[in-house]
Amino acid sequence: MPREPKGRGVAWTEERSDEGRRRSEGGRGGGWGAGSRRRAGKARPRVVVLDYGSGNLRSAQRALARVGADVEVTADVGAALECDGLAVPGVGAFAACMAGLRAVGGDKLIAQRIERSRPVLGICVGMQVLFAAGVELAGGSAGVVPPGQHGVRTEGCGAWPGTVERLEAGVLPHMGWNTVSAAPGSALFKGIAPGTRFYFVHSYALRAAAAGELVAAGALISWTEHGERFAAAAEGGAGEVGGVLAATQFHPEKSGDAGAALLANWLETL
């Protein structure tokens, strides 16, 4: 298992990840001093964290506000369409997150924003639901998989091609700190040192073997390995102008200074 940037172990539950985020601040991860970087000479960008019942909305709100955004958590259609950036966090099961999104029209909101070249950021299962589909077993994103059980396919938002599947790894969920091999030219990882660690909690992802269509679509994919290579982040490739669609499989809002640096980079694209 990877180790947290200050040398502490990672046998933590997701409920303790806020503690892990606090402990990681000031450690390795892009040289971010808490609250020290500001968007000099620029107005605070308006960001909506889409409220569709996901469990980590307030963590995302706090993290984005910390790096200079004016953040609102809401399911209001007008606010979600007109804001500078839309953040779509997600935890738990793919199917449950898609049901929550559809209940508030989130799938249509995402499609409309992409058509209008307005930035969208997916986080964890919020990344997964951007793909065409997910095949998931009982227990959800971090659940235990019964041997031999067949997966249930759920249609995603379809902004990106590809199917999210269970990782082939000896230990699941993949929980703790891991490095990311950033794509050349990535806006999200600009200025973040190689070897920087981010916080992951998941069992499912876009596996490298299933990423061919996304690569062909021109997306920039950043990779992590846990048992096998999978997409830790993706940018562009949805037919949009200027690469307005971006997402991370890890939790930037729980990744201390490294996550703050990445979120600040996203704000710079708005």
> Which residues carry out catalysis?
124, 251, 253
- Fill in the amino acid letter for 158: G
SS3 content of the chain, % helix, strand, coil (to 5): 30, 25, 45
CB atoms within 10 A of CB 191: 11
Check if the beta carbon of residue 128 is closer than 8 Å to that of residue 94: yes
Partner residues linked to 88 by β-bridges:
122
Query: Whole-angstrom Cα distance, residue 97 to residue 107?
Result: 11
Query: Whole-angstrom Cα distance, residue 84 to residue 38?
Result: 17
Pairing of strands 160-166, 174-179: unpaired
Q: Distance of CA 255 to CAs 62, 65, 205, Å? A: 13, 15, 18
DSSP designation for 207:
B
Q: Which tokens is 16 given?
A: 């303790």
